[in-house]
A and B are shown apart, each in its own frame.
Chain A
Amino acid sequence: MSDLTKTGPASNPDILFGPIRKDHVQRYSTLVVLVVMFLVFALVVDKFLTPQNILNIAQQISMLTIVGAGLTFGFAAREMDLSVGFAVGLAGVLVPLLLVKGVALPLALLAGLGAGLVVGAVNAGLVTLVGIPSLIATLATGSILFGVNFLMTGGRAIYGGLPDGYLWLGQGKVAGIPVLAFFMLAAVALAWFVMERTIFGRYIYAVGGNQKAAELSGVKVRRYRAASLIVCSLFAVVAGTLLAARLGSGQPNAGERYLLDGLATVFIGMTMLRPGTATVLGTFFGALFIGVINNGLNLMGMDTYIQSIVKGVIILVAVAVVSRSTKLNLL
């Protein structure tokens, strides 16, 4: 009896030296696929493994990663935000619009964040106060935002007259590394810290892990469900602000693809590390996964619609893996 009571991380040698365990296969197989895919592209595609291209990938996935990091909060609490793509678009037109009208850069950036807060608060209110499932509530607010984005711009792109300081956020480099990559890393680090090292993150996970148990442990479940949706919107508007800076213009429909791709990063992430649970690092690897595929297929000269098919298949595989190992219950 007492030989089992020893505790402490080092007392289980199986973890280090034992035979390959089923849960390890589950945890790391997606990561192995990512590495293999990377190596295949490196061998097959000429310009894939160059420092320039690696930085390209980092730049390409930075906004996606930020959206995904936000969505991770939602998924961890079992809330799905389908309005993130349009929240990206909202900041992507609002911030340039204000800048073109001569509003100072810091104020314009704050206004972008404020818009995210409002969208998040509306989503959260609909879900936790009115009681509409997040999948449906955010589908509706997404549709509203889509309209709002076009109304604000009259359907046209906003360009010209954007200050250099703003464009630098999306196009500049520091020590040869894109500024966007720093934003991405900062967002991942922040999200990771909050999820893994704060009580806030712990409770978000608790609400998603077992809502009834969380409630009976005194967790204010509603508050954390609401917070998870607000975080989704906040990360989305940051991504949208950066996206317009990168494009050098505010385009009302530029954010749309971030919904599907963002969900994909989370789903892929849920197949690894803690299978069935959305984690920030998992999402980050999910974004890398999508970035590597997009970039590799691009360099091979594949059309974007082929990429779309490939991505769809990957999402299906990821979701199939997740729902086989755990019960994926988001509605």
Chain B
Amino acid sequence: MEIVLSDITMQFPGTRALDGVTAGFRTDEVHGLIGENGAGKSTLVNILGGSLQPSAGMVQIDGRAVRLTSPHDALVQGIAHVSQEGSLVPGLTGAENILLGAEPKRAGAVIRTGALRAEAAALVAKWFPQVRIDLGRPVGELPMADRKVIEIVRALRGAARIVILDEPTATLPAREKEQLWGIIRRLPQQGVGVVLISHFLSEIKALSDRITVLRDGRHIRTDSADTMTEHDLVDMMLRRSGGANLRGADAGLRKDEVVLDLADWQVGGVHVPQFSLHAGEIVGLIGLTGAGHFGFARSLHNPAGARCARMNVAGKTVQPGPVGQMQAAGIALVPDHRMEYALIGEWTVRENLAMVHPTHGALGAGVLSIRREEAEAQRVMKLLNVKAHGSGQLLKTLSGGNKQKISIGKWLYGAEGRYRVMIFIEPTEGVDIGAKAEIYAEMRRLAAEGVGIIIASSDLLEIESVAHRVIPFANQRPGPEIAQSGFSESTFIAAISGTAA
């Protein structure tokens, strides 16, 4: 059986998630599907799994046009979707989960528990004879890999010929991963094709017969896995901003003053053995989604769950603690997704700017002075060249670039130079080219004032434009750093597609 999606377009309000994508999937292969966040992988498999109906394009099974109107409909046609989040009921046993909705019944209502257990065990034995799972225990108590197996068996219990596995190993410990890999590899031999989505390139390479690369909703290439190196894959996945290199004049570094010094920083699965940042320096962090660079950058300002052997900020020893404590030590964060993490849309520009340091314009005893607040807001707006009708304009009505300037301005309002380390995550996400150049200029200005800057971005050209040196991340570890003289797209790509595990 072969299922072919031809010329699929998916239009959502405001965005086109897929743009004329054509891809075919077979029952005798593991077909890897890769792309960065937003490339359209999820949309594509949701169409394949019947959860979404494409705006345009055709779906064919063995040359016959079909419409997959719901997940159930897709299942009837032989396509099962095992989603990333997991869809098991934690309180029910493995057997109950496998046969959920298809329980053997007596008189149409009473579940025959004995038959249910036997039937579920038979299904597991049929597909994965080598696997031993306790089907009598609530799945909430089972190891993650066993839960995935149960989900897969449930997907296969009907007449599924193609099963979509969305990030199946994302939640698994390393040891259990290999167990699941073995299971995935076997499926095509039993006549069930796999569509595999994974952020781990090494996994995609190891398991897939063919690989399809998506980028920004477009199909880039489908080919046999042997013909593409990991370097090729990354090269195809990365989006290019298409702008010019916006490298500006640099002020000299102050190599003598270290503003951030870390040893053995651990957070989540990320481990950074050593990291230091100098005054006036802009360090770029790059990596693919899930490589750990974003998590590391965020954790410096919000170190919940982080551990370290040493943390020095501007020469003082600091214990990782709540956000307020990190700010007091001199660390600021301009996060990605600014409307979610940084700003309040219903507030005015002035109120947003004063969010971190309302005390600046205060009269004492916690009483605000609107007049002083206004003056400071005007100063920051002017400094950052914010285009607004006034400081009283509602934030949500500003353009993306101006919103981002306010997100930066929060750390300039009333700060009086107290921030020595500023972290920028995807700083020009949804920002037009003019504002982009202004934001880079602001980062350089801050650096010239002696701030150490960390920028984590998936836009390599952006990193090339502003950073003095780059630390590539792969598999949640930093790789060897790249000096400015070595900056090029191909060195970056080579560095972040590193396979060391």
* A interface residue numbers (CB < 8 A to B): 1, 4-5, 7-9, 11-12, 197-200, 202-203, 205-206, 209-210, 212-220, 274, 276-277, 326
Contact = CB atoms under 8 A, between A and B. Distances in A.
Q: Which of A9, A214, A217 is packed against the most chain B CB atoms within 10 Å?
A: A217
Contacts, number: 86
B342 A216 contact: yes
B342 A218 contact: no
Given A202-B351, A216-B301, A217-B410, A274 B324 contact: no
B355 A217 contact: yes
A167 B219 CA distance: 80
Given A209-B347, A213-B341, A216-B302, A12 B389 contact: yes
B323 A215 contact: yes
Contacts of B344: 205-206, 209-210, 213
Interface of B: 301-302, 322-324, 327, 333, 335, 340-347, 351, 354-356, 358-359, 362, 366-368, 370, 378, 381-382, 385-392, 410
Contacts of B366: 198-200
B346 A216 contact: no
A216 B368 contact: no
10 contacts: A7-B382, A7-B390, A197-B367, A205-B347, A206-B344, A210-B343, A210-B344, A216-B301, A216-B341, A218-B324
B378 to A, nearest CB: 6
A44 to B, nearest CB: 38
B361 to A, nearest CB: 10
A198 B367 contact: yes
Contacts of B388: 4, 7
A326 B378 CA distance: 29
B322 to A, nearest CB: 8
A7 B367 CA distance: 25
A300 to B, nearest CB: 39
Given A210-B343, A213-B343, A276-B346, A202 B354 contact: yes
A178 B357 CA distance: 42
A218 B323 contact: yes
Nearest to B393: A12
Contact of A212 (B324, B340, B345, B347): B340
Contacts of A210: 340, 343-345
B390 A9 contact: yes
Q: Which of A199, A214, A274 is packed against the most chain B CB atoms within 10 Å?
A: A199
Contact of B356 (A7, A11, A217): A217
Nearest to A216: B341
Contacts of B335: 216
A218 B331 CA distance: 11
B89 to A, nearest CB: 23
B381 A198 contact: no
Nearest to A201: B368
A31 B391 CA distance: 26
B387 A277 contact: no
A4 B386 CA distance: 9
Contact of B346 (A4, A5, A212, A274): A274
Please name the 7 residue pairs, one residue from A and one from B, whose CB atoms are nearest each other, closest first.
A209-B344, A218-B324, A12-B389, A199-B366, A218-B327, A4-B387, A210-B344
B356 A218 contact: yes
Q: Which of B355, B358, B392, B410 is packed against the most chain A CB atoms within 10 Å?
A: B355
Given A7-B389, A217-B356, 5 more contacts: A7-B388, A9-B392, A210-B340, A210-B344, A218-B356
Contacts of B370: 197
A213 B389 contact: no
B346 A209 contact: yes
A277 B322 CA distance: 28
Contacts of B340: 210, 212-213
Q: Which of B344, B354, B356, B378 is packed against the most chain A CB atoms within 10 Å?
A: B344
Nearest to B324: A218
A213 B355 CA distance: 9
A209 B355 CA distance: 12
Nearest to A5: B387
A205 B381 CA distance: 23
Contacts of A12: 389-390
B441 to A, nearest CB: 15
Contacts of A216: 301-302, 323, 333, 335, 341-342
Contacts of A202: 351, 354, 358, 368
B358 to A, nearest CB: 5
Nearest to A220: B324
B356 A8 contact: no
Q: Which of A200, A202, A219, A274 is packed against the most chain B CB atoms within 10 Å?
A: A202
A199 B366 CA distance: 5
Given A5-B387, A199-B362, A214 B368 contact: no
A200 B367 CA distance: 9
A255 to B, nearest CB: 31
Contact of A199 (B323, B358, B385, B387): B358
Nearest to A197: B368
